[in-house]
């Protein structure tokens, strides 16, 4: 794989949070979030996994290295039409969405990247969706009341509370990386995940979200260092060592 494609594949796969283990066969998935699913190509990953990726030829290492700030849009949540339970309180879905965004922001800030709310010449715009969400509703507790403003005030507790109401049996992650000024698509991906028919636990979800945020920072870091300093972002030990050494972006 050439250097240009290596770097952009790293950035494209940074959003593959994978909230559970990769399913062995590629299932049917939602195709309404991205702009053009025909551009996606299968890319092998470790452990016999496959993600679907599109990498723009314009996404060269030189171009990527100019980005030092990011706009992180609020992740969208799409419940699968095949879900055992097709409804959920808006606050419960928002809990998942905001936890994903919060962990991404914290990881990027620790890496020296700025989180902004307006486009700019050095700003990437990242759109994320958790699609094909499969829910099973648990037996209603005596009180399943959601206080006003709970998600905004409770953070991680909101996600835990949500998962006490529903069992998450599967999902997919989809993402789009764009130049914030021109809206030019630099990369798109679909990461299909499942849990072999088993419930995804809170600890699994939390670990995967945090791991995804760490990989996100790593992929961006790789575009800001010389070729011989780039690391395998799928290696937790390598990521931990780099993060311990401090930000590569100053």
Closest CA to 150 of 139, 162, 142, 163: 162
Say which residue the tokens 């011989």 belong to.
228
- Is pLDDT of 106 > 80? yes
Residue 140 DSSP one-character state: P
Rg of the chain's alpha carbons, rounded to an integer? 18
Residue with tokens 């399913």: 23
| Total-model pTM | 0.74
Query: What's the pLDDT at 50?
Result: 60
* Residue 69 CB coordination number (10 Å): 18
- Position with higher pLDDT, 223 vs 15: 223
> Residue 20: its pLDDT value, please?
36
Q: What is the pLDDT of residue 3?
A: 53
Beta strands 166-179 and 185-194: pairing type?
antiparallel
CB 135 within 8 A of CB 85: yes
Domain definitions of the chain by residue range? 3-229
Query: What is the pLDDT averaged over residues 199-210?
Result: 74
Task: Report how far residue 120's alpha carbon sits from residue 70's, in angstroms, rounded to the nearest whole number.
Answer: 9
Neighbours of 134 (CB within 10 A): 21
Contacts of 249 (CB under 8 A, 6+ apart): 68, 111, 112, 113, 220, 221, 224
Helix (H, G, I), strand (E, B) or coil at 77: strand
The yes-or-no verdict on residue 177 having pLDDT over 50 is: yes
Separation CA 14–CA 216 (nearest Å): 4
Pairing, β 76-79 against β 123-137: parallel
- pLDDT in the model for residue 239: 93
Instruction: Answer yes or no: are the C-beta atoms of 67 and 115 closer than 8 Å.
Output: no
In this structure, of 93-97, 151-155, 224-228, the range with the lowest mean pLDDT score is 151-155
166: confidence class by pLDDT, cuts 50, 70, 90: confident
Q: Which residue has the higher pLDDT, 7 or 190?
A: 190
Task: State yes or no: pLDDT of 115 exceeds 50.
Answer: yes
The confidence score (pLDDT) of residue 244 equals 94
- Token pair 């780099």: residue: 242
Q: pLDDT-derived band of residue 21, with 50, 70 and 90 as boundaries? A: very low
Under 8 Å between Cβ of 8 and 59? yes
Q: What is the DSSP letter of 67?
A: -
Instruction: Render pLDDT for 120-159 as a digit per residue (tens, 0 to 9).
Output: 999 999 998 888 887 877 765 544 555 555 554 545 566 6
* pLDDT category of residue 196 using cuts at 50, 70 and 90: low
- CA dist., res. 51 & res. 174, Å (int): 10
DSSP of 208-225:
HHHHHHHHHHHHHHHTTS
pLDDT tens track for 22-60: 334 566 788 999 988 999 887 665 554 567 788 899 888
Residue 12 has pLDDT above 50, yes or no: no
């Amino acid at each position: 794989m050439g250097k240009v494609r290596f770097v952009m594949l790293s950035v494209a796969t940074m959003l593959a949070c994978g909230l559970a283990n990769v399913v062995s066969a590629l299932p049917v998935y939602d195709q309404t979030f991205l702009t053009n699913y025909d551009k996606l190509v299968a890319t092998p990953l470790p452990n016999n996994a496959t993600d679907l990726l599109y990498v723009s030829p314009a996404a060269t290492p030189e171009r990527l290295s100019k980005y030092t700030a990011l706009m992180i849009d609020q992740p969208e949540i799409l419940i699968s039409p095949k879900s055992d339970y097709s409804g959920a309180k808006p606050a419960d879905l928002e809990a998942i969405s905001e936890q994903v965004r919060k962990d991404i922001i914290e990881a990027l800030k620790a890496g020296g990247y700025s989180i902004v709310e307006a486009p700019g010449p050095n700003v990437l715009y990242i759109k994320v969706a958790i699609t094909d969400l499969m829910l099973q509703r648990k037996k209603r507790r005596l009180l399943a009341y959601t206080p006003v403003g709970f998600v905004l005030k409770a953070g991680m507790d909101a996600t835990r509370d949500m998962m006490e109401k529903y069992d998450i049996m599967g999902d997919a992650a989809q993402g789009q990386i764009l130049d914030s000024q021109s809206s030019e698509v630099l990369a798109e991906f679909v990461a299909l995940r499942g849990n072999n028919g088993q419930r995804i636990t809170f600890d699994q979800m939390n670990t995967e979200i945090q791991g995804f945020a760490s990989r996100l920072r790593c992929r961006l870091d790789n575009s800001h260092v010389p070729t011989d300093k780039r690391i395998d972002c799928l290696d937790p030990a390598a990521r931990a060592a780099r993060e311990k050494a401090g930000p590569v972006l100053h």
